Amino acid sequence: MEKEHNDDLVKEPFSAYGSYTYADYLTWQLDEMVELIRGKVFRQAAAPRRIHQGLTVALVTRIHGFLKGGRCKVYTAPFDVRLPVSSKDPNKIDTVVQPDLCVVCDPEKLDELGCVGAPDLIVEILSPGNNKKELQLKYEVYEASGVKEYWVVHPDERTLLIYTLESGNYRPSRLFTLGDRVASQALPGFELDLGEVFGEL
């Protein structure tokens, strides 16, 4: 059987066909940001475009303002999120991602290295460096790990798609765009005016 080849996998100093854990990840000294998804190493996209940065600031400002003084905290990349399914042992964790933005409401999941376990909300802002395999794998591990809500923002198309966890499976929203006000089930009471957010770019 022919081995899968993916140019987006980091090949040096890693093997394209190797499998790695969080314990390995902690020993690496790299000039580039990488993510570990189901044991495979993926390069982070090059420095985000201005539109990506603008969206990050707009979203984190609104979410932080809503959460201020409460139990939930919002974090932006670089921020390691470890997604174990059944163990917190670094040798058994094979997924470490750095979402553009995440909200964690359980302080027990936070340590000095980041978050261990599923955040309540993850936001990924697409960029030209994202690839379909990476996005599919993230969707699968977020769903399997119990991330309550997963937002995918497309800056160029000015759209937002929300996946909400229901009985262990993601249910997609309709595609939201300019003119829509979006409510979050993971953060009850929080609403986002997409016209305002995209209008600031």
Q: What's the whole-number mean pLDDT along residues 193-198? A: 95
Residue 177 lies in a domain: yes
What global pTM score does this model have? Answer: 0.87
Task: Write down the pLDDT at residue 3.
Answer: 37
* Number of neighbours of residue 146 by Cβ within 10 angstroms: 14
Arithmetic mean of pLDDT over the chain: 88
Residue 51 lies in a domain: yes
Range of the domain at 60: 47-199
Is omega for the bond preceding 119 within 30 degrees of 0, making it cis? no
Beta bridge partners of 92: none
Cβ proximity of 22 and 93 under 8 Å: yes
CATH number of the structural domain spanning residue 183: 3.90.1570.10
> Does residue 31 surpass a pLDDT of 80?
no
Cβ proximity of 109 and 99 under 8 Å: no
Q: What is the pLDDT of residues 156-183, one digit of tens each?
A: 999 999 999 999 999 999 999 999 999 9
Residue 96 lies in a domain: yes
Q: Is 103 helix (H, G, I), strand (E, B) or coil?
A: strand
> Does residue 84 surpass a pLDDT of 80?
no
Under the banding of pLDDT at 50, 70 and 90, the label for residue 85 is: confident
Cβ proximity of 16 and 4 under 8 Å: no
Angstrom distance (rounded) from CA 60 to CA 158: 17
Task: Write down the pLDDT at residue 47.
Answer: 61
> Does residue 96 surpass a pLDDT of 90?
yes
Residue 39 lies in a domain: no
- Tokens 């798609």 correspond to 161
Task: Write down the pLDDT at residue 10.
Answer: 46
